[in-house]
Amino acid sequence: MKFRTLMRHIREGIKNIFRNGWMTFASVAAVTTTLILVAVFLALVLNLDQMATNIEEDVQISTIIDRTADEQQIVELGEELKQIDGVEKVQFSSRDDELSKLMDSMGEEGEAWGMFEQDNPLHHTYYVDPMTPEQTEQIASQIESLNYVDEVLYGQDVVQKLFEFNSYARTIGLGLIVALVFTAIFLISNTIKITIIARSTEIGIQKLVGAKNSFIRWPFFIEGALLGILGSIIPITVILSGYYYIYTNFNDSITIPFVELLPFNPFAWQLAGMVLLIGAVIGVWGSVMSVRKFLKV
């Protein structure tokens, strides 16, 4: 396609936007509403995925050693743990180390546990890191069958609940977004249809003088893309300003383990680019639907 022809199509697409008045406004408003919700949904899901990844990377199996085991038996148990398929690392923690960790985690209240330093009620513990989170349950099951293992603890329930919540959020959010996307496509399609009907005589003349189908269709594709891009301007502004505010004001104050927001740069800019692309695709898709259905060329 020649540059002059392309510029002509762009000019016609822009003219069509202004010709349709309220339908253009309705289409842009629908795309704007849709993309704001899409952006919020994507930001939520991507941050939840990051939190889930943080938890996955920190999954550890605590192997509580039976108090009856002597030093040699504890060493032999450690060697057995290392031989289990899927185990990446095994780390020993004495009962004194466990008591120190407990006291540190409780702050000032933990000082009361100092009375147990001479008669420590805690157990020696092996911490086992699986190579992948998916192997955690299988490895834990094998550890439970070993001698001198009193108890096996791991955060599978927490991880599983987070994954389930993440899955529900994706499913519900995706359903709402799909419904809104189709609403936006429908409105853009109707806007293009009105343009086609209003210009039916002009289109007929172009066809009679030998204009190619692509020459007639391109302005409508450009109009749809422009409607989608215009509808993405406000959502992008909301994304950049909103996420920047949340990240700068709340990220450092979050004290919950594993909960950390994705960095503003580059995440917010990547999200803005995704929203712009989705807006353009919605617009072009709506145009294609109208051109195929109402433009008989």
Strand partners, 129: 89
**What is the domain-level CATH number for residue 105?**
3.30.70.3040
Task: Say what the pLDDT of residue 65 is.
Answer: 92
Between 198 and 283, residue with greater pLDDT: 283
Q: Which of 154, 189, 211 is the last residue of a domain?
A: 154
Q: Which of 127, 154, 181 is the last residue of a domain?
A: 154
When divided into structural domains, the chain yields a total of 2
The CA distance from 173 to 195, in Å, is 33
Q: Are residues 166 and 32 in the same domain?
A: yes
Per-residue pLDDT tens digits for 147-191? 989 989 886 676 667 667 767 777 777 787 788 778 777 777 777
Task: Say what the pLDDT of residue 162 is.
Answer: 66
Q: Are residues 70 and 101 in the same domain?
A: yes
What crossing angle do the helices spanning 156-198 and 3-19 adopt, rounded to 10°? Answer: 90
User: By C-alpha distance, which of 290, 47, 292, 70 is closest to 185?
Assistant: 290
Q: Which of 113, 130, 154 is the last residue of a domain?
A: 154
The CA distance from 73 to 210, in Å, is 92
Q: Are residues 89 and 189 in the same domain?
A: no
Q: Are residues 29 and 164 in the same domain?
A: yes
Q: Are residues 164 and 280 in the same domain?
A: yes
Per-residue pLDDT tens digits for 61-118? 899 999 888 889 999 999 999 999 989 889 999 888 887 877 776 666 656 555 556 6
Kindly tell me the sign of the dihedral angle through the C-alpha atoms of 199, 203, 204, 209.
Answer: positive
Mean pLDDT across the stretch 53-57?
71
**Residue 36, burial from CB neighbour count under 10 angstroms (0-12, 13-18, 19+):** buried
Q: Are residues 188 and 99 in the same domain?
A: no
CA separation, residue 134 to residues 60, 68, 95, 165 (Å)? 12, 32, 29, 18
Q: Are residues 24 and 93 in the same domain?
A: no
Cα–chain center distance at 124: 40
Q: Are residues 38 and 110 in the same domain?
A: no
Q: Are residues 195 and 269 in the same domain?
A: yes
Q: Are residues 200 and 261 in the same domain?
A: yes
SS3 per-residue string spanning 58-73:
CCCEEEEECCCCCHHH
Q: Are residues 15 and 138 in the same domain?
A: no
What pLDDT band is residue 127 in, cutting at 50, 70 and 90? very high
Q: What is the domain range of residue 190?
A: 3-56+160-295
Cα–chain center distance at 107: 36
Q: Are residues 223 and 249 in the same domain?
A: yes
256 by DSSP, 3-state: which?
coil
pTM equals 0.65
